[in-house]
A and B are shown apart, each in its own frame.
Chain A
Amino acid sequence: MVKGSFSVRLPEFARTTTFRWTLAISGAFTLCVILMFVFVLGEEYSYLSSDVDRLNSENARLVTAETKENRVRRLNEYLQNDPRRVKLGGLFDSDGNRIAGNIENLPATLQTDSSPTDVSLIRVDAFGRDRQLARTIAHRLDDRSILVVGRNVQQFTWIVGVVRRALTLGLIPALCLGLMAGALLSVRGQKRIDAVNRKVQRIVDGELRERLPTRGTNDPFDKLAVLVNGMLDEIESLVRRLAGVGDDIAHDLRTPLTRVRVSLERACQKAGSLDELRASVDKAIVGLDQSLAIITALLRIAEIEHSRQVDGFRDVALADLVREVGDLYEPIAEDKKVDFAVKAKEDATVHGDRDLLFEAVANLVDNAVKFTPQGGHVELSLLRKGNEAVVRVCDSGPGIPIGESDLVMRRFYRSDKSRCDPGLGLGLSLVNAIVKLHGFDFRISSGPGCVAEIAGRSADA
């Protein structure tokens, strides 16, 4: 048997933290109990011995104090009244022969006139002959005889025995109980963890609908499971939303791609001249460009939504930005015969990325000009409301139907009324992404026409 193979084959529960802790605590507990008993025993022993020593020397003194003749009588008196057979005493002559008392012979290890010692000696009395352990002192008397006085301390051994039995009877079951509890707890914990592991494995395998098991007991483990389940809900809804976006992409890409396919197919079969063929190919390229533009716009939105680069933010003077957007779109509005007014009398500064904010405002104006019919008007203005800087784009277009103002910020959402107008349907969700990145507010409301506002805390307020 190799030592290592044992540890490898430890049962599952024995390897859990719970079990190891139980083991450690049980060990510490046992050690404490043993130490406590040892201490109690030690104290008891020293107390009892000093008591016995006092009694012994007192009695020895009483015997010694008698005249030589009376010593035997005195000793016998002392030994007489002893139902528990604990009193020991003996008088020996200088050669060690017994003169009186109940000790059979002078123990060889016993030193006279020294401190009390524990000696094993043989007791002889009316009840018989026994070996006893006794705490004993010995004195050499004036006539060279030796007086031995002792007291049976067998009770110590008995007490030690009791304690040992108590320990065995008490500690071992306690220890076993502890270990069993530990094993049980760890098996239970292990079971829950195994259940969670299985679920997690299923989730990893793509079963996003799975949830961790909960018992409603509100214990920490349950709380954790509830927390994780909440997280899973969020992830699942995100994934669904993404999948929805995927469907939208598929839908919006399918339209231009189908047109491309049809026109190429027709050209292939019907084109009578090179010019006709070229016209079809040109149309096809326009269609493909549209599809690519959709993809680019989507990537752009994703890029903005995922960027966390707030450290690139600077102070942006909005009046300047608004005028610049105005310059950029003024010819477009004029071409479309839409009246375009730019109002930025008061300046306001916000903290942000100028390029992105420009893009957002440009998109709003782009939208407004696009959806406003000929002869209508678009107004781009910069206002201050308290410490808020507001860029507002109003137009006299069809506006946004009530209940759709949230929808328009979604990707690809295009009001049914405007399905036939050009555009990618991504403009407002791009604006929304940029505004969110800045922590600004994006509000769309319907007056007559459409009112879109980007509102941010001005940095100079």
Chain B
Amino acid sequence: MVLDEATGLTRAAAPLCQLENDLGQHENPAVGSPGELAMSRVLLIEDDRQTADEIVAELVDRGFQVEWAATGIEGLDKARIGDADVMIVDRLLPGIDGLTIIEVVRQEHIRTPVLVLSALGAVDDRVRGLRAGGDDYLTKPFAILELIARIEALLRRPSENRDTMLRVGPLELDLISRTAKRGDRPIDLLPREFRLLEYMMRRKDQLLTRAMLFEEVWSYKFVPQSNLVDVHMGRLRRKVDGSDEQPMIHSVRGEGFVLRAPA
């Protein structure tokens, strides 16, 4: 995999090896502004102890409060209280099936965002998970950063604001005239690049994984074999970040991309 390492953010995978401490805070791209999401409550319903332990440890490291339920019944009880900010629900659970939990919770008008985890990767299954009321779907096995990125995306879901102008630092995107500017420099974007930039600007400071981008911006259901997203992102980056400008699009090696205002 050929990835752009120019941004110096190559240490992003570090939390996976528990080496986080010797990194500068700003270099942890998944938690762009730690104060904002810390103390968010996560309800994890997952029957496999080892998987659950990994997820809990990672989330706690990132300042989340995690509650873990090992069975469907316990999970449903906790979910019904409705005090979690986000739920992670495994599909196959002893007792009550994960999708049933989501359906019941939704019937009780609890709108907590749900990330469905599943060992079943079929497209149909994904559709079923989302139809039951899940907000996102992740297939096992997954990279832990992919999970974190999706949890954070769910927590910071962009409000449906009617702004016609998006701004991140010097970057401006006019949704009506379909034009982009960085400072005074106009940026000429192809339609697909425009959609990509819009998606990123709505989710500034968030780690956006390749899979997320491919699903959301390109809305394709398959995982491409080539480094498609990287190449498209590379083009966008050349347009957004001029040679004498501070970079705004950062790649996180092996994981994805972050759009951030220059310091």
- Note all chain A residues with C-beta closer than 8 A to B253: 282
Q: How far is the CB of A362 from chain B (nearest CB, A)?
A: 7
Q: Kindly identify, within residues 228 to 243 of chain B, every residue whose CB is under 8 Å from any CB belonging to chain A.
A: 228, 231-232, 234-235
Decide if B220 touches A355 in the complex (CB within 8 Å).
yes
Question: Given A274-B19, A328-B218, A332-B231, are A282 and B225 also a contact pair (CB < 8 Å)?
Answer: no
Does residue A423 face the partner (Cβ distance < 8 Å to B)?
yes
Report the bound CA distance from A309 to B1 in whole Å.
Answer: 35
Taking a contact as CB atoms closer than 8 A, the residue among B11, B22, B225 that contacts A363 in the complex is B225
Taking a contact as CB atoms closer than 8 A, the residue among B141, B192, B220 that contacts A358 in the complex is B220
Decide if A296 touches B123 in the complex (CB within 8 Å).
no
Q: How far is the CB of B221 from chain A (nearest CB, A)?
A: 5
Report the bound CA distance from A327 to B231 in whole Å.
Answer: 12
Q: How far is the CB of B192 from chain A (nearest CB, A)?
A: 6
Decide if A366 touches B226 in the complex (CB within 8 Å).
yes
Does residue A236 face the partner (Cβ distance < 8 Å to B)?
no
Does residue B63 face the partner (Cβ distance < 8 Å to A)?
no
The size class of the interface chain A forms with chain B is 20 to 34
Contact with A along B9-40 (1 / 0, CB 8 A): 00101101101001000000000000000000
Q: Kindly identify, within residues 257 to 289 of chain A, every residue whose CB is under 8 Å from any CB belonging to chain B.
A: 274, 277-278, 281-282, 285-286, 289
Report the bound CA distance from A78 to B254 in whole Å.
Answer: 134
Decide if B11 touches A278 in the complex (CB within 8 Å).
yes
Does residue A71 face the partner (Cβ distance < 8 Å to B)?
no
- Note all chain B residues with C-beta closer than 8 A to A307: 124
Complex: chain B residue closest to A309, CB-CB = B124
Which B residues form the contact surface with A (CB < 8 A)?
1, 11, 13-14, 16-17, 19, 22, 121-124, 139, 141, 143, 192, 218, 220-228, 231-232, 234-235, 253-254
Query: Main SS of the interface on chain A?
Result: helix
Report the bound CA distance from A293 to B224 in whole Å.
Answer: 10
Does residue A33 face the partner (Cβ distance < 8 Å to B)?
no
Which A residues form the contact surface with B (CB < 8 A)?
274, 277-278, 281-282, 285-286, 289, 292-293, 296, 299-300, 303, 307, 309, 327-329, 331-332, 335, 355, 358-359, 362-363, 366, 369-370, 423-424, 427
Complex: chain B residue closest to A333, CB-CB = B231
Decide if A366 touches B224 in the complex (CB within 8 Å).
yes
Decide if A281 touches B13 in the complex (CB within 8 Å).
yes
Decide if A427 touches B225 in the complex (CB within 8 Å).
yes
Question: Given A281-B13, A335-B231, are A362 and B224 also a contact pair (CB < 8 Å)?
Answer: yes
Report the bound CA distance from A278 to B228 in whole Å.
Answer: 26
Q: How far is the CB of A21 from chain B (nearest CB, A)?
A: 50
Question: Given A285-B13, A370-B226, are A327 and B141 also a contact pair (CB < 8 Å)?
Answer: no
Write 30 A-B pairs (CB below 8 A) sorted by A numbering: A274-B22, A277-B17, A278-B13, A281-B13, A282-B13, A282-B253, A285-B16, A289-B143, A292-B141, A299-B121, A300-B121, A300-B222, A303-B122, A303-B123, A328-B218, A329-B226, A331-B231, A331-B234, A331-B235, A332-B228, A355-B123, A355-B221, A359-B220, A359-B221, A359-B222, A362-B224, A366-B226, A369-B226, A424-B225, A427-B225
Decide if B254 touches A285 in the complex (CB within 8 Å).
yes
- Note all chain B residues with C-beta closer than 8 A to A332: 226-228, 231
Decide if B232 touches A278 in the complex (CB within 8 Å).
no
Question: Given A328-B218, A331-B231, A369-B226, are A278 and B123 also a contact pair (CB < 8 Å)?
Answer: no
Report the bound CA distance from A278 to B18 in whole Å.
Answer: 11
Q: How far is the CB of A419 from chain B (nearest CB, A)?
A: 16
Question: Given A285-B254, A327-B192, A423-B225, are A296 and B121 also a contact pair (CB < 8 Å)?
Answer: yes
Decide if A278 touches B19 in the complex (CB within 8 Å).
yes
